[in-house]
Amino acid sequence: MASEDLFAEELTEESVPTFDNEIEEATEEVEATQNPAQVGTDNETASHLEKQKSDKTNEHKLLQLPLARVRNIMKLDPDLHIASNEAVFCVTRATELFIGSLARESYHCTTENKKKTIQRRDIDMAINTVESLDFLDGAMF
């Protein structure tokens, strides 16, 4: 199986949601439309801003692995001085895609053996049969 099949979903800058600019623009719009006497009194505007802020926090819910843990693991590399949020997001997403592809291949090996539970030997078989996973050979102990 080629790596194109393993990573069918392509991650580009356009596919990574960012809400920073949208929040700033909405804040500027609200400030421009309200006079100083109205600031803080319009509940609808406040709830709209809160919703946009919560959308930003929902960006992290697109991932299943914790970003803080991935950042800490990345910082273990002595050559890495600073890891931007975008870099941590991309590494986390790539890790999730990799784990998903390994699990899919292991599942295929499990079903070929007419079993229902993925076991270590199925993961080893997937590593041995899929050429793009050869770098994992001997990594499992």
9-31: pLDDT as tens digits: 555 445 544 444 544 554 455 45
* Contact predicate 136/32, CB 8 Å: no
Quote the pTM value.
0.55
Pick the CATH number of 3-136 from 1.10.20.10, 1.20.58.760, 2.40.50.140, 3.40.640.10: 1.10.20.10
Distances (CA, A) of 109 to 16, 82, 116: 32, 40, 10
Local confidence band at 93 (pLDDT 50, 70, 90 cut-offs) = very high
Q: How many residues does the chain have?
A: 141
Position 51 pLDDT exceeds 80 = no
More confident residue, 118 or 140: 118
More confident residue, 37 or 45: 45
Q: Is the dihedral of CA 66, 70, 71, 73 positive or negative?
A: positive
